Amino acid sequence: MKAIIFDFDGTLADSGECGLLATQKAFKECDLPIPTKKEIDYYMGIPIEQSFHEMTNHTLNDEQFAKLLQLFRLSYKTLEEQTISAFPHLNEVLSTFHKKGLLLFVVSSKKTDVLHRNLQKLEMDRFFTDWIGSDQVEHYKPHPDGILKIVERYSLKVTECVMVGDAIFDIQMGKAAGCETVAVNWGSHSKEQLLKEKPSFFALEVRDLYNLTKLMSIDS
């Protein structure tokens, strides 16, 4: 294996509280029924351009929807400084992989500029070769577009890549692309939900990721 592709929210970063608060605040300010934590957690892995339509049952016109997205992004930016943090030991794991010469990437459902800002805040950006947000793909997760763009951009083979994520959409995306998949136990979706997708490997805790170099036959 040459490359490891990570999801961001719920995989690298504990951003659930930020997403929850910003979503509920935006819906409240638009006088819409406020989605529950369970609903928000479920859709955490796909872009708000899609998930918000699901949460409102597609009842908004374009102007209303644009306002909802704008309010969410304003709230998110205000809240992120205090509510987003890296999961313990992840920087150590990334540093180890980086030193081994592995190419590290992020494919996220948030916009690329926001993703970069968050990676910088968590001092993770230095480990990654590239990061792809929802604005760089034509099709959102679980479509494999994000992975395929990395493969093409860096002249990789899909079979040389591993996809790591906390949501079923990440595992579905990886499998659709044709790469190995790693489901992690510390994000938005439960172990039961993730195991139903039959990932190649399941990480109960962050330090289990160290085992990828052996379990995924990565040259160390």
**Do 100 and 137 reside in the same domain of the chain?**
yes
Range of the domain at 45: 16-83
User: Which of 83, 116, 134 is where one domain is finished?
Assistant: 83
Mean pLDDT in residue range 52-76: 92
Span 158-215, pLDDT tens digits: 999 999 999 999 999 999 999 999 999 999 999 999 999 999 999 999 999 999 877 6
Position 215 scores a pLDDT of 64
Share of the chain above pLDDT 70, in %: 97
User: Which of 63, 83, 103 is where one domain is finished?
Assistant: 83
- Closest to 83 measured CA to CA, from 121, 126, 41: 121
pTM reported for the whole predicted model:
0.92
Residue 71 lies in a domain: yes
Given a contact cutoff of 8 angstroms between Cβ atoms, the answer to whether 107 and 82 are in contact is no
Confidence of residue 216 (pLDDT cuts 50, 70, 90): low
Better-scored residue on pLDDT, 214 or 5 = 5
The total number of structural domains that make up the chain: 2
Which CATH number does the domain housing residue 172 bear? Answer: 3.40.50.1000
pLDDT greater than 80 at residue 219: no
3-state class (DSSP) for residue 196: coil
**Do 60 and 154 reside in the same domain of the chain?**
no
**Do 75 and 133 reside in the same domain of the chain?**
no
Residue 220 lies in a domain: no
**Do 175 and 103 reside in the same domain of the chain?**
yes
**Do 169 and 203 reside in the same domain of the chain?**
yes
pLDDT greater than 70 at residue 62: yes
Span 91-104, pLDDT tens digits: 999 999 999 999 99
**Sign of the Cα pseudo-torsion (141, 130, 118, 100, in order):** positive
List the Cα angle 137/142/146 in 5-degree steps: 30
**Do 113 and 187 reside in the same domain of the chain?**
yes
**Do 103 and 146 reside in the same domain of the chain?**
yes
Position 220 scores a pLDDT of 39
State the average pLDDT for the chain: 94
**Do 149 and 55 reside in the same domain of the chain?**
no
Cα–Cα distance, 138 to 205 (Å, whole number): 33
Confidence of residue 217 (pLDDT cuts 50, 70, 90): low
**Do 65 and 141 reside in the same domain of the chain?**
no
pLDDT greater than 90 at residue 44: no
**Sign of the Cα pseudo-torsion (215, 173, 39, 35, in order):** positive
Span 177-192, pLDDT tens digits: 999 999 999 999 999 9
Which CATH number does the domain housing residue 45 bear? Answer: 1.10.150.240
